Amino acid sequence: MRRPRLASDLDPVPGVAALALFGVLAAVILTAGFDAPAGFEAGASVMEGIGYALFDLADQSPLVTEGFLFAFLAIAVVLDAALDGALLLARREGGDES
């Protein structure tokens, strides 16, 4: 049985580029300044605000929650795609059984 050998004829440019990109991203993240976190009003319901935004009734909520709406819908689409994929795979593996 032979031991695996490392390839010696590889191009180092992609590896160096990946390390450079990592260095740039690390520098940006470590030197970024963030504002102090701001909370919501006491007694205000974020879920209620998202519900109003879903039905285009955002003026009835004291919170501005349209920013949450995209994340909420994007997660719903991804979960729906995962469920559809799981059903497709289960149907393929199950064969003709009912």
State the Cα–Cα distance between residues 37 and 57, nearest whole angstrom.
27
Q: Would you state the pLDDT for residue 93?
A: 62
Contact 50, 65 (CB under 8 A): yes
State the Cα–Cα distance between residues 85 and 59, nearest whole angstrom.
38
Q: Would you state the pLDDT for residue 7?
A: 81
Nearest to 63 by CA among 84, 93, 39: 39
CA-to-CA dists, residue 33 to 21, 22, 30, angstroms: 20, 19, 9
Q: Would you state the pLDDT for residue 69?
A: 83
Helix H or strand E encompassing 96: none
50 pLDDT more than 90: no
Q: Would you state the pLDDT for residue 80?
A: 97
Taking the CA atoms of the chain, what radius of gyration do you get in angstroms? 25
State the Cα–Cα distance between residues 60 and 53, nearest whole angstrom.
9
- pLDDT band per the 50, 70, 90 thresholds, residue 94: low
- pLDDT band per the 50, 70, 90 thresholds, residue 98: low
The mean of the pLDDT values for the chain is: 86
- pLDDT band per the 50, 70, 90 thresholds, residue 56: confident
How far does the chain reach from its first CA to its final CA, in angstroms? Answer: 49
